[in-house]
A = this chain, B = another copy of it.
Amino acid sequence: MTTVYFEDIKIGDFAEYGKTITEADVLLFSAVSGDNNPVHLNQSYAEQSAFKTRIAHGMLTASLISTVVGTRLPGEGTIYLSQSTRFKAPVQLGETVTARATVAELFPEKKRVRFITECRVGDKVVLEGESLVLAPSRG
């Protein structure tokens, strides 16, 4: 666990978290969220869908961004204020997603940081958006 204080954060700084999205992740995410849409759970159904195979929940992919800001930059002590996510492409089971948050704007009076956020599978952007957080401060 890391803490990067507001005073030490610069525009352009970034952090990443990468994870292979396993079948177990998708089953557990369905259990926790209640989202049991068959495109996530039913291979026969999913093969007949536009996606051609089971895909991960979009919000599962999005949760990796929360991991970046909540555990790496700014990390421990961060208060998450908002997140926007645009789902650009599906993530299949077994694919490895890398989430990145890049500092785009700093608000010194409120210790807030705006990040541009992105998740990729290889070179393909599967999710993009923005985060706004309240960073821990030395002050």
Contact = CB atoms under 8 A, between A and B. Distances in A.
A10 interface: no
B85 A33 contact: no
Contacts of A58: 66, 80, 83
Q: List the number of copies, as a whole number.
A: 2
Interface residues of A, number: 42
Contact of A35 (B33, B57, B71): B71
A118 B38 CA distance: 24
A28 B58 CA distance: 17
Contacts of A17: 34
A70 B38 contact: no
Contacts of A87: 80-83
A25 B1 CA distance: 21
Interface string A31-65: 11111111100000000011000000111101110
A67 B30 CA distance: 9
Given A1-B38, A37-B71, A83-B84, 20 more contacts: A1-B36, A1-B37, A17-B34, A28-B32, A29-B32, A34-B64, A34-B71, A35-B63, A36-B71, A37-B70, A37-B78, A38-B76, A57-B66, A58-B66, A59-B63, A59-B66, A60-B63, A62-B62, A81-B87, A82-B84
